[in-house]
Amino acid sequence: MSNDDTTARERQGPLDGLRVIDMSGMISGAFATTMMGDFGADVVMIEHPKVGDPIREWPKKTEDGHSLAWKSLGRNKRCITLDLGSDRGRELALELIEDADIVFENFRPGTMERWGLGPDDIHEVNERAIMVRLSGYGQTGPKSEKPGFGTIAEGISGWAHANGFPDREPLLPPISLADLTAAQFALQATLMAVYERDLGRGGSDEGQVVDVSLIEPLSRLFFGDVEAYDYDGHVRERTGNRHPNTAPRNIYETKDGYMTMSASNQKIFERVAHAIGKPELIEDDRFADNEKRVENVEALDAEIEAWTRDHTTEEAIDILEAEDAIVGPVYDVEDIRQDEQYQARDDFVTVDDPDVGQIETFAPVPEFSRTPGDIEFLGPGHGEHNEEIYGGELDLSPEEIVDLEEEGII
């Protein structure tokens, strides 16, 4: 799909041949391009010559200062440095974009235009390029020019309001949820745009701009909420580990820890009732159907937890699974690494890294039967691929590269 196949590396995976110029830092754009790199795209990541991606400074670090978060998020990307705000930097960026399929950026709206790298500038040199723009609030609207981080989006999107227990304060997630969710929306939108350009109704052969905010993808996950508010003013409230629309669904205390359970239809609820030795719950008017169970969820959970507390997690899961109930343990990363299901699906790959040595990383997901993804290398050094790309692909001489370095452009 690249305009000049001579510059594209051969990779395995369904996106082999797709060339991506990644100008995004931090997480939202970076996670989208990581997944693209996992599945064969040639991702060239641009960082500022003096200040690398902030993820490079995240703990946890190795003894000699290499961020393990960066090793994961930067994997399968060739990293170069470039001062995009300089005239020569702009020229080099446009040269890179000339044969790119996709350009990712996540600067504050207006920044790329100020540098002469806005959509019009990009499409002037490559009309097929798809420009993916990630920002806090999107490219339009009264808040568009404000800076935005995922934490703010998690509050504005309604997510924090709905997360946590009803008698406690709203809770933020323990991961960069807004960024990671925006990354998934950006990835699927990018592939839609590629399809439209190359295949949709014969293919338009023209690129376009994809505008992704951090706030809207999270809000979109609350399907039905806008409709409920418009219908009768209903506003979702915090329900802890319970689900507002189905019961029983919770984390239950056991004799030695915790377990999860979800019984979202009548047959599964009846199996649970039989498994815990309380078939009378099936005939109890309070639990006659899902709507009644949601209304009387505290009483129902008390019946279930009175039973789970008398059993270890393993015992409770074995008994419930024997009745074909849907249950599971609560894992940490050590449990995940040792679990036979993860192991059977080869979810962990050992990679040789020049900075860390042999280290495990999560394998590409999901699995493909014919064109699987792969991990070629983990997050590289700052500017590690400068010579390869500037010299090998843009045909700059060694003297020109040295001059660019001395001028602070790369």
**In terms of domains, do 120 and 155 share one?**
yes
CA gap 32, 18 in Å, rounded: 14
pLDDT score, position 276: 98
The average pLDDT across 380-409 equals: 97
**In terms of domains, do 192 and 255 share one?**
no
Give the phi and the psi of residue 353 in degrees, each rounded to 5.
-120, 135
**Which two structure tokens, joined as six digits, stand for 134?**
């990630």
Does residue 179 carry a catalytic annotation? yes
Per-residue pLDDT tens over the stretch 18-69 = 999 999 989 999 999 999 999 999 999 999 999 999 999 999 999 999 999 9
Spell out the SS3 assignment of 132-196: EEEECCCCCCCCCCCCCCHHHHHHHCCHHHHCCCCCCCCCCCCCCHHHHHHHHHHHHHHHHHHHH
Cβ atoms of 86 and 49 within 8 Å: the answer is: no
Cβ atoms of 239 and 298 within 8 Å: the answer is: no
Give the phi and the psi of residue 406 in degrees, each rounded to 5.
-65, -30
Per-residue pLDDT tens over the stretch 140-182 = 999 999 999 999 999 999 999 999 999 999 999 999 999 999 9
**In terms of domains, do 25 and 113 share one?**
yes
| Domain assignment present for 342 | no
**In terms of domains, do 317 and 360 share one?**
no
| Domain assignment present for 30 | yes
Provide the CATH number for the domain around residue 76: 3.40.50.10540
Polymer length of the chain: 410
Burial 19-55 (b: 16+ CB within 10 A, else e): bbbbbbbbbbbbbbbbbbbbbbbbbbbbbbbeebbeb
| Domain assignment present for 233 | no
CA gap 196, 149 in Å, rounded: 30
CA gap 80, 95 in Å, rounded: 14
* Domains contained in the chain, number: 2
Residues in a beta bridge with 209: 131
Query: pTM for the full model?
Result: 0.94
User: Which amino acid does the sequence have at 273?
Assistant: A
- Tell me which of 297, 329, 361 is where a domain ends: 329
| Domain assignment present for 235 | no
Q: Beta-strand (E) ranges in 143-217?
A: 209-213
pLDDT for 7 beyond 90: no
**In terms of domains, do 280 and 374 share one?**
no
Per-residue pLDDT tens over the stretch 318-360 = 999 999 999 999 999 999 999 999 999 999 999 999 999 999 9
CA gap 143, 202 in Å, rounded: 38
CA-wise closest residue to 209 among 141, 76, 113? 113
Give the phi and the psi of residue 76 in degrees, each rounded to 5.
65, 15
**In terms of domains, do 209 and 254 share one?**
no
**In terms of domains, do 325 and 278 share one?**
yes
**Which two structure tokens, joined as six digits, stand for 371?**
């064109």
pLDDT score, position 1: 40
Per-residue pLDDT tens over the stretch 113-145 = 999 999 999 999 999 999 999 999 999 999 999
CA gap 289, 310 in Å, rounded: 27
| Domain assignment present for 340 | no
Per-residue pLDDT tens over the stretch 206-218 = 999 999 999 999 9
pLDDT score, position 11: 80
- pLDDT-derived band at 8 (thresholds 50, 70, 90) equals low
Longest CA–CA separation in the chain, Å: 84
pLDDT score, position 5: 44
pLDDT score, position 152: 97
Give the phi and the psi of residue 31 in degrees, each rounded to 5.
-70, -35
Per-residue pLDDT tens over the stretch 271-314 = 999 999 999 999 999 999 999 999 999 999 999 999 999 999 99
**Which two structure tokens, joined as six digits, stand for 144?**
């568009």
**In terms of domains, do 15 and 150 share one?**
yes
pLDDT for 105 beyond 60: yes
| Domain assignment present for 54 | yes
**In terms of domains, do 29 and 87 share one?**
yes
Q: Please provide the average confidence, as pLDDT, over all residues in the chain.
A: 96
Residues of the domain holding 91: 5-220+349-406
Q: Given the residues 101, 179, 301, 353, select the one marked as catalytic.
A: 179
Q: Is 137 exposed, middle or buried (0-12, 13-18, 19+ CB in 10 A)?
A: buried
pLDDT for 372 beyond 60: yes
Q: Concatenated DSSP letters for 247-279?
A: SSEEEEE-SSSEEEEE--SHHHHHHHHHHTT-T
pLDDT score, position 59: 93
**In terms of domains, do 372 and 263 share one?**
no
pLDDT score, position 4: 45
The label of the residue with tokens 């860390």 reads: 356
pLDDT score, position 264: 87
**In terms of domains, do 381 and 315 share one?**
no
Per-residue pLDDT tens over the stretch 219-230 = 999 999 999 999
| Domain assignment present for 187 | yes
**In terms of domains, do 75 and 19 share one?**
yes
- pLDDT-derived band at 2 (thresholds 50, 70, 90) equals very low
